[in-house]
Amino acid sequence: MSEKILLVGAGPIAQEYAKVLQALHAPLIVVGRGKESAKKFFANTGFQAEIGGVKLWLQKNNPPAKAIIAVGEKELGETARLLIQSGVKEILVEKPGGFIADDIRKVGKLSGEKKAKVYIAYNRRFYSSVQKAIEIINENGGALSFHFEFTEWIHKIPATKKTAGIIHEWFLANSTHVIDLAFFLCGKPKKLTGYALAGFPWHNGSSIFTGAGVTEKNALFSYHANWESAGRWGIEILTAKNRLYLRPLEKLSIQNIEEIDTANVIIDDTLDIKFKPGYYLQVKSFLEDKKNLPDIQEQIHMLAWYEKINQA
């Protein structure tokens, strides 16, 4: 591949993208901010990152047509809009595509005006376990019903996320990983009734969530999460022949009709071991056919449902 990719960011996530791009033989330009992050980036990837930030870099350089944004949550939307204004036509931006909902909507508006394509990096769509689940779901006629849980371990949230204020938008920044994946596998919601209780003054939303609804594919669903108690992320999907468990999301187990026991499904997770899980196939999709990548307009459509779950 001869077309260069602009990688914005030099932190740990950007390093993971660089490893994948190198494996895909995609030449890249890396633009970070500080000397320390650039030094670490070089030590871990072998690539030299330019420093000073992307805004300064764009004043002196013409960007390539494609870019990947791997900066902090608060800078996602601003960086995406800056690249769009500078002429970048295809962008893969770390989830959820902006810091707050209005930030994401502004990216969508500008991308429409400038005819740029922006995709959201929900990498769990590309887990090996999820690819196998898709195969089984399709073989059995689709999902009849499903349940998902997005309980967060708030005691494990990094201190940097707290001090930077990212925790204020933790539902959008983190929990939507699970919710996006559930609706990706089983269909977008058509109707939803939710209940929620707010228990943390630091969070823009609730801490206990429950609800149910029906998707555009007429699959019934329910959800629950309690950030004030025990739990974990997980999705259960019921087809006409079996029940699939993604709990944890990296693993897949199955329970067939007329059986009590569940069995682990054998998956080829070589790529998820060699690279950050989901990243290889996600980046490959971005560079090639865009299959299974949500675009910014899909994300904007889902924002109303996310807000309903979070603020119910």
The span from the CA of 172 to the CA of 135, in Å, is 28
- Each domain of the chain, given as residue ranges in start order, spans 5-121, 124-268+296-311
pLDDT tens by residue, 107-119: 999 999 999 999 9
Q: What is the mean pLDDT of the chain?
A: 96
Asked if pLDDT for residue 96 goes beyond 60, the answer is yes
Asked if pLDDT for residue 76 goes beyond 90, the answer is yes
Contact 187, 215 (CB under 8 A): yes
pLDDT at 158: 86
pLDDT at 252: 99
pLDDT at 312: 61
pLDDT at 1: 57
Task: For residue 277, say if its preceding peptide bond is cis, omega within 30 degrees of 0.
Answer: no
189 pLDDT band, cuts 50/70/90, is: very high
Beta-bridged to residue 119, according to DSSP, are 92, 295
147 pLDDT band, cuts 50/70/90, is: very high
Q: Mean of the pLDDT values across residues 100-129?
A: 98
Q: Mean of the pLDDT values across residues 157-180?
A: 91
Query: 129-133, 160-164, 272-276: which range is least confident on average?
Result: 160-164
Sheet holding 28-31, edge to edge: 28-31, 5-8, 66-69, 90-94, 117-121
pLDDT at 16: 98
pLDDT at 160: 79
Quick one: what percent of the chain has pLDDT higher than 70? Answer: 99
Domain topology for 5-121: Rossmann fold (3.40.50)
Q: Mean of the pLDDT values across residues 23-52?
A: 96
Task: State whether residue 263 is helix, strand or coil.
Answer: strand
Asked if pLDDT for residue 65 goes beyond 80, the answer is yes
CA 296, chain centre distance (Å)? 12
Superfamily grouping for domain 124-268+296-311: Dihydrodipicolinate Reductase; domain 2 (3.30.360.10)
Query: 156-160, 176-180, 231-235, 261-265: which range is least confident on average?
Result: 156-160
Terminal-to-terminal C-alpha distance of the chain: 47
